[in-house]
Chains A and B, each alone.
Chain A
Amino acid sequence: MEFPERISGKITRAIAAELEGLSEEKLAEIDYGIAAFIANSYKTAFIFILAILLNVFQYFLIAFVSFGALRTFASGVHAKREWTCLPVSIILFFGILYLGMTIELNIYMLSTIFILCFTAVLRYSPADTEERPIVSRKLRKKLKILSVITTLVLYAIALYSLGTKASSIITFAVLVESILILPATYRLAGSMYGVGIKISNKREV
């Protein structure tokens, strides 16, 4: 068991002892909510502090918001282990920053990257995981539409700020997130792509 789940388990047991009458189902949901909060917050705080120390916070914020906006709806592959997650997150975010700050994209390069990303988003989003399968077809459709809209909005912002570092950072953030939803990336990470579709088709997973 990873450490966010260990801490959330302890807190949930304390909650169960203090608040009587909570069902097992509710406690499992509370446990998940706490684990999700811990797993996300300490890594986010660490990366934010690192960005401040490296004096690239404003650019990091652009990468973080662009990447996060698309990831919220398109989802994508996740690390299997806690200890691999933080280094991979650092490499991805600071990789986006490095590329965005060193490579100035012209309109043709930017548009080509966005066309590729748009195709990937249209074809493969939302890319769920075994840990959080998206079974509902209605929800999948809604998330796909929102992913496509987010990609188009980010493209518009990148075009508007063309010639600046922000434009390149947004483009590389979208590119990285698009790579994370590809089935090939899932295979590389040892994860299963399309678990939700398989469950909704009542196939064996």
Chain B
Amino acid sequence: MKRFLKPLMILISTLALFIASTSTTACYMWSLREPKMPESLIKRD
């Protein structure tokens, strides 16, 4: 179990970062509530 834990966490983190980074440029929250975006993801000119 322990052997699979680290790769699983890496996979979840990568997917989560992908979702987070794509959410900065478009609204993928088609449902009607969205969590608060962290300051570091807010794009500025």
User: A71 contacts B34, CB within 8 Å?
Assistant: no
User: A131 contacts B16, CB within 8 Å?
Assistant: no
**Chain B nearest CB: distance from A19 CB in Å?**
6
* 0/1 interface trace, chain A 66-79, chain B, CB 8 Å (1 if under): 01100111111111
User: A35 contacts B35, CB within 8 Å?
Assistant: yes
Q: Hey, which chain B residues are within 8 Å of A136, CB to CB?
A: 43-45
Q: How many A-B residue pairs have CB under 8 A?
A: 142
**Chain B nearest CB: distance from A184 CB in Å?**
17
Q: With an 8 A cutoff between CB atoms, is A33 at the interface?
A: yes
Q: With an 8 A cutoff between CB atoms, is B1 at the interface?
A: no
Interface residues on A, range: 35 or more
A36-B32 contact given A29-B20, A135-B42, CB 8 Å threshold? no
CA distance A29 to B45 in the complex (A): 20
CA distance A34 to B20 in the complex (A): 8
Interface residues on B, range: 20 to 34
User: B32 contacts A88, CB within 8 Å?
Assistant: yes
Q: With an 8 A cutoff between CB atoms, is A123 at the interface?
A: no
SS class, residues of chain A in contact with chain B: helix
Name A12's closest neighbour in chain B (CB-CB).
B16
* 0/1 interface trace, chain B 28-41, chain A, CB 8 Å (1 if under): 11111111111011
Stretch from A37-45, A51-59, A96-104, A107-115 that touches the partner? A37-45
Q: Which 10 A-B pairs have the closest CB atoms?
A: A33-B16, A33-B20, A85-B33, A28-B38, A35-B35, A75-B27, A33-B19, A79-B32, A43-B31, A136-B43
A-B contact pairs, 9 of them (CB 8 A): A2-B33, A26-B17, A29-B16, A30-B13, A34-B12, A73-B26, A126-B27, A137-B45, A139-B25
Question: Footprint of A on B, CB under 8 Å?
Answer: 5-6, 9-10, 12-13, 15-21, 23, 25-38, 40-45
Question: Footprint of B on A, CB under 8 Å?
Answer: 2, 4-5, 8, 11, 14-15, 18-19, 22, 25-26, 28-37, 39-40, 43-44, 64, 67-68, 71-82, 84-86, 88-89, 92, 126, 129-139, 143, 200
